[in-house]
Chains A and B, each alone.
Chain A
Amino acid sequence: GNSVTQMEGPVTLSEEAFLTINCTYTATGYPSLFWYVQYPGEGLQLLLKATKADDKGSNKGFEATYRKETTSFHLEKGSVQVSDSAVYFCALNRDDKIIFGKGTRLHILP
């Protein structure tokens, strides 16, 4: 079946640190891949996406590359800010349903 596995949190970093949140997926065919973010008190927002192998999605300094050979879509940011504190969800789209990972809570300390 289709599923997404992402690293468990919480992840706590200092401001300006490098961030990686690992994500791997299992799917039939070649799904589109997403990272969603949920800031405190807000809804889920699409952070970035990639629709085919080797595509790189990017937004707000975050990047993720669709790696078909390792079935991965790791989220990275070179220098995190306190405002990046949120819950991050890796996801894929299958038949117009979004299949999510469990989410990773990120805390950034000033």
Chain B
Amino acid sequence: EAGVTQFPSHSVIEKGQTVTLRCDPISGHDNLYWYRRVMGKEIKFLLHFVKESKQDESGMPNNRFLAERTGGTYSTLKVQPAELEDSGVYFCASSRGLGLSYEQYFGPGTRLTVT
């Protein structure tokens, strides 16, 4: 079974530009999560999809961030326009169900550098 994949692995953009991150969850996993680790800080929850619906987007920092999961398969996270403080590692995770019986499986992350 393939794991969670993320693309690109690393992105360097200038302030004001747009970047789109992609996450492909494990096949059959309805739940998809985005997390972010800003340098020196904790990994923080951004949002949670159940299939194509946003279940919880309480961690999204501001309206420059737009997450989608059309069709309930892969997800994209767009940052527009990017700011310096958006630099960090963006992790995606997926799980088959909700609750403690279902582990969240993480991808390798996308390292975003805004200059």
Chain B residues whose C-beta falls within 8 Å of the C-beta of A102 in the assembled complex: 40-42
| Structural contact, B4 and A98, CB atoms closer than 8 A | no
A45 in contact (CB, < 8 A): yes
Cβ proximity bits A1-22 to B, threshold 8 Å, 1 near / 0 not: 0001000000000000000000
- Please state if A42 and B108 are interface contacts (CB–CB under 8 Å): yes
Q: Which residues in A have their C-beta under 8 angstroms from that of B91? A: 43-44
Binds A, one of B14-22, B60-68, B71-79, B95-103: B95-103
Residue from B44, B103, B107 within 8 A of A100 (CB atoms): B44
A residues 37-60 near B (Cβ < 8 Å) are 41-46, 51
Q: Are B35 and A98 in contact (CB under 8 A)?
A: yes
> Which residue in chain A gives the minimum CB-CB distance to B40?
A102
Which B99-115 residues have C-beta < 8 A from chain A? Answer: 99-100, 103-104, 106-109
| CB-contacts of B1-60 with A (<8 A) | 3-4, 31, 33, 35, 37, 40-45, 48, 56, 59
Can you list 30 A-B contacts (CB < 8 A)? A4-B42, A36-B106, A41-B108, A42-B108, A43-B4, A43-B91, A43-B106, A43-B107, A44-B91, A44-B93, A45-B106, A46-B103, A51-B100, A89-B43, A93-B100, A96-B31, A96-B56, A96-B98, A96-B99, A97-B33, A97-B45, A97-B48, A98-B35, A98-B45, A99-B42, A99-B45, A100-B42, A103-B37, A103-B42, A103-B43
Residues of chain B at the chain A interface (Cβ within 8 Å):
3-4, 31, 33, 35, 37, 40-45, 48, 56, 59, 91, 93, 98-100, 103-104, 106-109
